[in-house]
Amino acid sequence: MWGKDGRCRSGYEAIDAFLQSTTPEVLASRRAEAELLFRRIGITFAVYGEANSEERIIPFDIIPRVITRPEWDSLSAGLEQRARAINAFLADLYGPREILKAGIVPEELIYANPAFRPEMMGMKVPHDIYVPIAGIDIVRVDADTFYVLEDNARTPSGVSYMLEDREIMMLLFPELFSRMKVAPVDIYPDELLATLASIAPANAPGVPTAALLTPGPYNSAYYEHSFLADRLGIELVEGTDLFVDNEVVYMRTTQGPQRVDVIYRRLDDDFLDPLAFRPDSALGVPGLIAAYRAGNVTLANAVGTGIADDKAIYSYMPEIVRFYTGSDALLKNVPTYRCREAESLSYVLDHLPELVVKEVHGSGGYGMLVGPAADKKTIDEFAKRLKAKPDNYIAQPTLSLTTTPTFVEQGIAPRHVDLRPFVLTGADKVRIVPGGLTRVALKEGSLVVNSSQGGGTKDTWIVDV
């Protein structure tokens, strides 16, 4: 909110005036009201592997994160470019593999990668769109520079928090919305539905039928699954609600079988079809991949998109963007050391206290080392893991991430944030709702924003100035 010159940054003036005129007691009251609303609505998540893995409410900060319209326009242009490049990359990997033939990306990073699905080789995906729904994590390091921290191309989550955060803020702070021109995010369900309809198979009827496939109520993101199905106006189904006949997918209904043309799946590849992947999966639909291969159903996102999530592949994204778009990436990568390369490994081992080291297949903030926050014993143990399996890791400098004002127990204090905008790629166009999920590291000094690691969320305001 405050620049290095001590002035309030453009877009934050009304927030600053509001905070200066509002007592901590009023802010605490509104925070308590927000928590009550979250509990009443039932917005929860669970963390797998914990002894006490009960459903919990994600912490919510009542002070919004503000991005001005010019900043957003620049950011969204880079997001669209990156989403198009990711889709082109996946279509190429599972098709002619021109990028491998050109030596841009090493073949072993693809073929030895557990996220690569050889079953998809040569398969025609409707409209060549592999990632209709992308969540691209962005960090900001100064007034002018955004970096892409991570690409989420499998089943990106968190959009329900983006939508619910906005609804709660509008209830609690109508006076702020009356003073500021905040871009709406409630159009996201309509935009997502239009995207899904645009990528339906060519033989789908005039109005294609979509359904959201969930693993069921024991999944940590089940709230979001049911929330989105409701907002989209489509059926929420489990594997047992679907069946395949003559390579066409049908949904069991009280009126009899109904054809399903597009499946927004929130189920991992391995569990989609016991005939194609894990034979012990009770969550999937037998014959689904045969219907998919026959071109009778669209899966959003496509099978095999996890290769674009891989952090080793991430390090090649500048070259990937240039290869498929013919232009330099508008959004920069965080400088990345590939520990699989001897020179990089040597540098990383010598500078572990200064670096962030991540598993290439990791997610959720797990399996990583934040060097500046780690003690010597932890660093020494991590060095052993690095030496044993260097291919499993990448390393990055510890960035000076931007902070935003956050209401914590001690009052208003700076806390580090990132941003996950959601990019929808349809057969007709790319749609990006102005905003996204801002995640905030609530622990003082922490750079880890994941909810499973104690992070929370904020509403994200794109404002005209």
| 15 pLDDT more than 60 | yes
Which structure tokens are listed for 86? Answer: 């990711």
Contact 336, 153 (CB under 8 A): no
Whether 125 contacts 201, CB under 8 Å:
no
Taken in order of first residue, the domains within the chain and their CATH numbers are 13-201+297-334+399-463 (no CATH), 337-397 (3.30.1490.270)
pLDDT of residue 362: 66
User: Which pLDDT belongs to residue 365?
Assistant: 58
Q: For residue 63, give both structure tokens.
A: 């002070």
Q: What pLDDT does 101 receive? A: 97
Per-residue pLDDT, 220:
82
Backbone angles phi and psi of 54, in degrees to 5: -70, 160
Q: Between these two residues, 407 and 3, which has the higher pLDDT value? A: 407
Model confidence pLDDT, tens digit, residues 318-351? 999 999 999 999 999 999 999 989 999 999 999 9
- Give the number of other CB atoms < 10 A from CB of residue 32: 11
Alpha-carbon 213 to chain mean position: 18
pLDDT the model gives residue 302: 97
Torsion of CA 154, 106, 386, 317, to 10 degrees: -50
- What average pLDDT does the segment 218-225 reach? 89
Q: Is the pLDDT of residue 237 over 70?
A: yes
Q: What mean pLDDT value characterizes the chain?
A: 92
Residues 222, 177: Cα–Cα separation, whole Å = 31
Task: Give the 3-state DSSP-derived string for 192-241, with helices as H, strands as E and coil as C.
Answer: HHHHHHHCCCCCCCCCCCEEEECCCCCCCCHHHHHHHHHHHCCEEECHHH
CB contact at 8 A, 420 and 137: yes
The residues near 75 (Cβ < 8 Å, ≥ 6 apart) are 67, 138, 146, 331, 421
Give me the amino acid identity at 4: K
Q: Which helix (H) or strand (E) element contains residue 414? A: strand 411-420
Q: What are the two backbone dihedrals, phi and then psi, of residue 26, each rounded to the nearest 5 degrees?
A: -65, -45
Mean pLDDT of 451-460: 83
Residues 6 or more apart whose Cβ sits within 8 Å of residue 132: 195, 196, 199, 300, 301, 424, 425, 426
Q: What share of the chain is helix, strand, coil (3-state, %, to 5)?
A: 35, 20, 40
pLDDT at 266: 97
- Residue 440 CA from chain centroid, whole number: 15
The arithmetic mean of pLDDT across residues 180-199, rounded, is 96
pLDDT for residue 288: 98
Residue 248, pLDDT score = 97
Distance CA 433, CA 152 (A): 17
Helix (H) or strand (E) holding 460: strand 456-463
Residue 118 to residue 112: CA distance in whole angstroms: 11
Identity of residue 72: W
**Alpha helices (H) along 371-417:** 376-388
pLDDT at 142 over 90: no
What is the phi/psi pair of residue 67, to 5°? -130, 130
Token reading at 163: 């939508």
Q: What percent of the chain has pLDDT over 90?
A: 78
Condensed to tens digits (0 to 9), the pLDDT of residues 47-106 reads 555 555 566 778 899 999 999 999 999 999 999 999 999 999 999 999 999 999 999 999
Q: Alpha-carbon Rg of the chain, whole angstroms? A: 22
Q: What values do phi and psi take at 137, rounded to 5? A: -80, 130
Provide the 3-class DSSP secondary structure of residue 275.
Answer: coil
Q: Is residue 130 predicted with pLDDT exceeding 80?
A: yes
Q: How many residues does the chain have?
A: 465
> Which residue, chain included where needed, has tokens 């900001």?
140
> pTM of the entire structure?
0.92
CA-to-CA distance for 115 and 111, rounded, in angstroms? 9
Say if residue 203 is preceded by a cis peptide, omega within 30 of 0: no
Taking the CB of residue 55, how many other CB atoms lie within 10 A of it? Answer: 13
Please state the rounded mean pLDDT for residues 261-279. 96
User: Under 8 Å CB-to-CB from 121, ≥6 apart: which residues?
Assistant: 94
Report the distance separating Cα 61 and Cα 16, nearest Å: 16
In this predicted structure, the answer to whether residue 143 has a pLDDT above a threshold of 90 is no
Q: Where are the strands (E) in 113-164, listed by range? A: 133-140, 146-152
Q: How confident is the model over 342-389, as pLDDT tens digits?
A: 999 999 999 999 999 988 876 655 678 888 888 999 999 999 999 999
